[in-house]
Amino acid sequence: MSEYTTSPAGIPGVTVLGATGSIGASTLDVMARHPQRYRAVALTANADVDGLYRQCLRFRPSYAVMGEPAAARELAARLRSQCPEIRVLSGSAGLEEVAALPEVDCVMAAIVGAAGLLPTLAAARAGKRVLLANKEALVMAGPLFMQEVRNHGAQLLPIDSEHNAVFQCLPPSAAERGLKTAGVRRILLTSSGGPFLRRSLAELAEVTPEEACAHPNWDMGRKISVDSATMMNKGLEVIEACWLFGAAPEDIQVVVHPQSVVHSMVEYVDGSVLAQLASPDMRVPIAHALGWPERMASGAERLDLFSVARLDFEPPDLERFPCLAYAYEAVRSGGTTPAILNAANEVAVAAFLEGRAGFLDIPRIIAATLEAVPGRTANSLSVILDDDRRAREYAQNRLQNRLQNQLRSHLRKRLRNHLQQDRQP
């Protein structure tokens, strides 16, 4: 068995935060392939009542949590006749409770965005094995989060395919010893380049949310898909890698690799470069982290190098994808600046997905927010959350002003056209 403490039921218990999302569903798929090794203690979702209801019927957890109280009431009513034993909770308090349950050994932290920070922190404070798919926990609160992991003896294993690949390529305890002491020259963090790798700036101005969400290699949620298209996802991963592996920003090089077969690499001082290769399927890193230090079947398709045939690598284009540069600037600035970056990005991406902003407005809003909202020393969770709030308010106001200016411009144009028509004989 893996190095878990045995739960009261005799099988390691797992809480899946964000169970109905792509990572959560993949986690449950891997667990279902090994029913004698894991049991679902708690499943959570934000608002997808139908999805969580179906998962509850299949996996019979002890707890189910919905983000919204109304959704929790609906789920509880639907489960009453089928699974009356399932306790239904709601909100942040419910998420934090199921992340820290005594019968839970392992927590999959797969809630997207800042909403995942508090329950992931609760899991760390409870000394759990934390499978970290919520990169925002480290982006927003890296020093605080890592200190909580150390203070409470939690075990942190990365789920992002790139960080999981780096973890597999590093020697044991490299982060504790220091990368340079372990003979590491640099981390090579690969990126697919997203769906717009070959688009010009003029073409990027016209892309739609549907195009941005159509990733060529990965099946991901809409927000993460847009982050991949802007390369902000890779920027957030750079920040995450700094905290996970004790790396400086200059120790991390982003490499565009369109095939998404090499998930990342580690270069050593002797000239060796170790790489982890696999099919682009998130069940591979999930199975690795669930079973670590053992290996177990993930259900992913085996990698066929003859079908892949070639592996291409190129540097990122920071002119067309400035979000990556903003992330490097944020982690160098430190303090709450990464949290401000993340907040502005979440607001801008939501506006783009809702049709209230264009694709190129995303980096513009982020740049304006970073300039207008100065970062502070991240010496407490309250300071981090306050700067997150300030950044969101500024970005929302910026968007609102932009929409009002567009409306005024549109009305002026219509008025000019109307007056020109009236002057015609």
Q: What are the extents of the domains in the chain?
A: 13-159, 160-333, 336-425
Phi, psi of 395 (to 5 degrees): -65, -40
Residues 6+ apart with CB under 8 A from 115: 46, 67, 92
Q: Are strands 63-66 and 155-158 parallel, antiparallel or unpaired?
A: unpaired
Tens-binned pLDDT, residue by residue, of the chain (425 aa): 345 554 555 789 999 999 999 999 999 999 999 999 999 999 999 999 999 999 999 999 999 999 999 999 999 999 999 999 999 999 999 999 999 999 999 999 999 888 899 999 999 999 999 999 988 899 999 999 999 999 999 999 999 999 999 999 999 878 778 899 999 999 999 999 989 999 999 999 999 999 999 877 776 789 989 999 999 999 999 999 999 999 999 999 999 999 999 999 999 999 999 999 999 999 999 999 999 999 999 999 999 999 999 999 999 999 999 999 999 999 999 999 999 999 999 999 999 999 999 999 999 999 999 999 999 999 899 999 999 999 999 999 999 887 666 655 655 666 566 566 666 65
Spatial CA neighbour of 134 closest among 156, 151, 149, 153:
156
Are the CB atoms for 2 and 294 separated by under 8 Å? yes
Amino acid identity, position 344: A
- pLDDT for res 390: 97
Phi, psi of 379 (to 5 degrees): -95, 0
In whole angstroms, give the CA distance from residue 421 to residue 3. 78
In whole angstroms, give the CA distance from residue 207 to residue 255. 24
What is 336-425's CATH topology? Rna Polymerase Sigma Factor; Chain: A (1.10.1740)
Buried b (16+ CB within 10 A) or exposed e, 26-46: bbbbbbeeeeebbbbbbbbbb
Amino acid identity, position 168: Q
| Phi/psi-derived region of residue 170, left when phi > 0, alpha when psi is between -120 and 50, beta in every other case | beta
- pLDDT for res 6: 46
Residues 6+ apart with CB under 8 A from 289: 131, 157, 158, 159, 164
In whole angstroms, give the CA distance from residue 167 to residue 71. 38
Phi, psi of 237 (to 5 degrees): -70, -35
Tokens of 124: 């760390």
- pLDDT for res 416: 66
Tokens of 108: 């999959």
- pLDDT for res 114: 83
- pLDDT for res 422: 63
Residues in the chain: 425
The CATH number of 13-159 is which of 3.40.50.720, 1.10.287.70, 3.40.50.300, 3.10.20.30?
3.40.50.720
